[in-house]
């Protein structure tokens, strides 16, 4: 997937074929992850993160993101991928908007799969990342920040955490109002997809 000399359609197909093959659970009979040698598994985890940083095509990045989310959801709590969240946190500070976008996307997916206990010890950095994303200069980052904040809000169990996250509601509302005021022909692709699926609209 990482060879940029290959046409993007080839890399996209490779990403599509890769996801079921590295599925960590036994739900898919094509999954080979459990049969890979530990050093091969480590290499795969390194390479998918490297691919996220180096790939330029949005569709291929989405395939990398799917793979990272799948592996991370299955392995993180067992301590088999401790570098994943620090990597994502660092990417939220990247000067490349695409890095900020995919890191928020993956964090949203991990939040829904791993639950509150995993992210409890990261409450402060996560809340700051979300606060920053909601005021990002790039509207697409703000959309992902809106989605990620919504995902984490559903995880909050402690009153003090819920109260702190409620402070993000005005910024969330500002993003929604901004998008609502945009003529439909200027809607970012991600927002258009959400509205078509009746997620926010």
**Token pair of 114 as six digits:** 């791993």
Residue 162 corresponds to which tokens in the numbers above?
Answer: 């819920």
Asked if residues 108 and 149 have their Cβ atoms less than 8 Å apart, the reply is no
Give me the sign of the Cα torsion angle 190, 193, 199, 201. Answer: positive
pLDDT of residue 90: 96
- What value does the CA radius of gyration of the chain take, rounded to a whole number of Å? 17
How confident is the model over 49-84, as pLDDT tens digits? 988 888 888 888 888 888 888 888 888 888 889 999
Contact 131, 168 (CB under 8 A): yes
Q: pLDDT tens across 108-149, in order?
A: 989 888 877 788 888 889 999 999 999 999 999 999 999 999
119-128, 148-157, 192-201 — which is least confidently predicted? 192-201
Alpha-carbon distance 19 to 129, whole Å?
28
CB neighbour class for 46 (10 Å; exposed up to 12, middle 13-18, buried from 19): exposed
- Gap between the Cα atoms of 133 and 143, Å rounded: 8
Single out the residue of 112, 7, 10, 95 nearest to residue 53, CA to CA.
Answer: 95
Task: State the Cα torsion 161-166-168-174 to the nearest 10°.
Answer: 170
| The pLDDT of residue 2 is above 60 | no
Q: pTM for the complete prediction?
A: 0.82
Q: Cα separations (Å) of 125 from 29, 99, 115, 130? A: 38, 17, 16, 9
Measured between its terminal Cα atoms, the distance across the chain in Å is 35
Residue 65: other Cβ atoms inside 10 A: 20
């Amino acid at each position: 997937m990482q060879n940029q000399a290959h046409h993007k359609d080839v890399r996209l197909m490779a990403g599509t074929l890769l996801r079921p093959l590295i599925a960590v659970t036994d739900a898919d009979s094509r999954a080979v992850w459990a049969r890979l040698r530990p050093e091969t598994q480590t290499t795969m985890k390194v390479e998918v993160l490297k691919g996220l940083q180096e790939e330029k095509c949005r569709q291929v990045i989405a395939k990398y993101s799917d793979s990272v989310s799948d592996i991370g959801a299955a392995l993180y709590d067992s301590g088999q991928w401790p570098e994943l969240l620090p990597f994502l946190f660092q990417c939220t500070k990247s000067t490349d908007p695409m890095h900020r976008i995919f890191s928020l996307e993956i964090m949203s997916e991990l939040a829904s799969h791993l639950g509150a206990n995993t992210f409890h010890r990261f409450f402060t950095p996560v809340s700051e990342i979300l606060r920053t994303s909601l005021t990002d200069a790039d509207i697409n980052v703000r959309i992902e920040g809106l989605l990620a904040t919504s995902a984490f809000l559903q995880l909050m169990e402690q009153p003090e955490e819920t109260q702190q996250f409620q402070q993000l509601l005005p910024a969330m509302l500002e993003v929604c109002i901004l998008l609502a005021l945009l003529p439909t022909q200027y809607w970012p692709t991600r927002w258009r997809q959400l509205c078509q699926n009746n997620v926010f609209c």
